[in-house]
Amino acid sequence: MALKKRITYYYDEEVGNYNYGYMHPMKPFRMRMAHSLVSAYGLDKHLNVVRPPRASALEMTRFHADDYVEFLSRVTPELAQHEPEHTSVYLSGEDCPAFDGVFEFCSISAGGSIAGAKRINHGESDVVVNWAGGLHHAKKGAASGFCYINDIVLAILELLRYHQRVMYLDIDVHHGDGVEEAFYTTDRVMSVSFHKFGDFFPGTGHVDDVGVARGRGYAVNVPLRDGIDDASYAGIFEPVMRLVMERFRPGAVVMQCGTDSLSGDRIGCFNLSMQGHAACVAFMKSFNVPLFCLGGGGYTIRNVARTWAYETAVLLGHDLDPVLPYNDYYDFYGPEFRLDVPASNMENMNTREYLAQILERVGEQLRSVPHAPSAQMHEVPRDWPEDSDGEIDDAEMDAAGEAKMTRRQRDARVVPHAEAYDTDTDEFTPIVNPYRHTGTSTRPAARR
């Protein structure tokens, strides 16, 4: 009999307090709804439930530009209104508003993803869940597509400290552009994205986008058309992922489980049922490789909550009663009050010939990738924040004048140093994406 997997589940109840705006489709409240269902089913009794530490600004700058993180740490709706030109450099208008508490929201999301990666690194968990993470569009120096801090990139960077190869899988209806871009030139991360392609945000993810330099062949894009159903999705997902795992042999898998690929999503255009979406999670779990499941898109919030609760049960190997138990948000699930997101009669535009063609092209790409690419491993640095003590000391020594003693050195006389501090900023000008995330189809953004 196989041993039960050790599963850590990150949740901060405050994540549901943040609000992008009344008319904005992104609702952090959905994480609170999902957790309420997890608790109502009693799944929390079988999980190691952990409140994530908040990510510091310094931790965020392991990927993001200093000036962008510094801006996020101080931006408010009032500041954005008074400095629209400065704000537009970092935040993309309607998609990424400067809402109250935006930095704190990002610190919860990123904190859980960084902490979860550390648990996998230290062998403390086989599976980690952070439904507040998965914000895959954020760029190095700017927000994009409802995403401000790319917690996925931060988690993968942490995993790469211990693992030779990490695989990133994205089943959101939108292309995982921010993550792919971050690792486009390396053979240590293979990014795999199944997404709607065409006149749709973010407009990237063509099957021929395969990476460059050492990373050539390690970006895998599976562009799909409207209305794909469970059978068609499984028919291309399973052979692609089986070949990816065979050729790349990752030490850990990070899976973005965006639920805007479900039938009936406010923004998405696929036709997956809850069971079809969760089948992807079950399939990846079957490889017995450390698995980190993150949230992502999903804008019909009752279906988001249902699916993430169900997928938590899938990771545990538990069957759930299809009749929903009473929970804090029971009225949201009427009139059927069932744990189900059924497919509709939407037309599937993905013909067998089209899917066979995509599968053939992706298969050729993966077969050209060497088995288990070599990557020179170095001594593993100390865990965060100690590995940045030198940077902090340099900055404090410069500011200390004649005293020439850092705070870390002073604190070391009493207790070990255990805090991280912000760094100075550099200038960075991001590229503005010409598409909007909002709406079921994209439209060009107004040129500034």
With H, G, I as helix, E, B as strand and everything else as coil, classify residue 197: coil
137 is catalytic: yes
Strand order of the β-sheet with 219-224 is: 48-50, 7-10, 127-130, 291-294, 252-256, 166-170, 189-196, 219-224
Supply the DSSP string of 14-51, one letter for each residue. GGGG--S-TT-S--THHHHHHHHHHHHTTGGGGSEEEP
SS (H, E, C) 316-369: HCCCCCCECCCCCCHHHHCCCCECCCCCCCCCCCCCHHHHHHHHHHHHHHHHCC
CA distance 22 to 110: 24
For the record, the structure tokens of 293 come out as 């499941």
Q: Which of 64, 136, 137, 163 is catalytic?
A: 137
CA distance 178 to 176: 6
CA distance 202 to 30: 23
Q: How many CA atoms lie within 13 A of 346 on its CB side?
A: 22
Sign of CA dihedral 18, 200, 305, 287: negative
For the record, the structure tokens of 370 come out as 């060497």
Kindly state the greatest CA–CA separation across the chain.
74
For the record, the structure tokens of 252 come out as 């850990």
Are 375 and 188 in contact by the 8 Å Cβ rule? The answer is yes
Q: Which residues are catalytic?
A: 137
